[in-house]
A and B are shown apart, each in its own frame.
Chain A
Amino acid sequence: MISAQGLAKSFGGVRAVRAVTLRAEDGAITGLLGPNGAGKSTTLRMLCTVLAPDAGEAWIDAAHTVRDSLEARRRLGMLTHDSGLYPHLTARENILYFAQLHGMGRAARERRADELIEWLEMGGFAGRRAKGYSQGQRIKTALARALVHSPRNVLLDEPTNGLDVMAVRNLRVLLQRLRAAGHCVLFSSHVMQEVSGLCDVVFVLARGEVVAQGTPDALRAATGCASLEDAFVKLIGTDEGLG
């Protein structure tokens, strides 16, 4: 479970996040929907302890993201905006490096790497160096790396960026399988269809604030719009592009 209370963060004079309060339950997929620059990435970075909030607090399960950041990090897996692989290491070595940083023993991390490579169907490229990977292969490797310590909570920052249709479908299936296994999945996106089809709960972010929240159906009902896209445009105001 991930929860945040009044998170705020400024960079220089720019208030990237003003007041974000949210809650993502176990066994559910929670969406963070908003246009570019709405503060999605900054919010996720605060949740995964990379950034410290200026105000507000957040917890990963019961672990406070600032006071108990090491425990919080043990409980989360983060798929960052850019996959950020080490080009001179193979996919398998990339995964094993993170497993080791998570303090897993040799046998445990080898077993877990095999498991993830099979689960994500990475067998064809796991032994090759990451230098020439396709976007889909990069995302799979990064996802395996984020899941290597079997975290209860999984955060994904725009995971479908740059993926082709088939890869997006595969990712959707993966997220549903994580939900079925009882994980708490929180992902950000600016793509409507993704969110409406996949999420149990949606938080709509605009100008660094949560402007609406609820199930996709509830959002449609509340705004009186037939499609979530219309509801979204209505919620964030039309002056802001959807990128």
Chain B
Amino acid sequence: MAKHWWKALAVLILTYTIIAGFTHKIPIIGTNGQSSRGLYFHVPMWVCMYTMFTISVINSLRYLSGYDLRKDALASAAGGVGVFYGVLGFATGTLWATYTWGSTFTSDPKQMLTAVALLIYMAYLVLRMSISDIDKRARISAVFNIFAFALLIPLTYIIPRMVDSLHPGSASTPGFASKDTDNNMKMVLYPAFIGWTLLSVWIFTLVVRYKKLELKNIFK
């Protein structure tokens, strides 16, 4: 049981996030109303996605440096879980935008470019499925994965930060500065980041173990 402590920690933190996130006092600002509480659930999805895509690209690089197929299994598992969290983040974001920005799909740069980045990563998963030779699949998708990660950061972080956007974290509304998030909300937001990330790592380890069992004849 000793190695499972971090999973219990994730459950504890997330239980706290759900209870405190819905019941503690938050400042009511502008059109957001109570929907600011979405901060504890929408933003951590992206933190999970970045974590997974980082794990994915690191393992793609490790695969290319030694051609060990186990690293490719790690990279593909992280890519799949990352897309899963990205889709969740995008879906929660569009729902939120419908009632605060006034429209589900706006010409907002962050929303549009995030959709582009997600499509690139979905192409990574499709590319993997389209090549039946295991070694060829691992090499081509590892290279693609590095390009995808090189695009992910400018598309979802740098460009939205340089232009005006409705989304917090743009040129006109910088996010994560010391003054712009209510201290009371940080008490839930930061544990939420940790809790959701631990949960995503848990799901990732399960997918990896499943993939290694599936390919056990190759890994002998």
A, B from the same assembly: no
Interface of A toward B, CB cutoff 8 Å: none
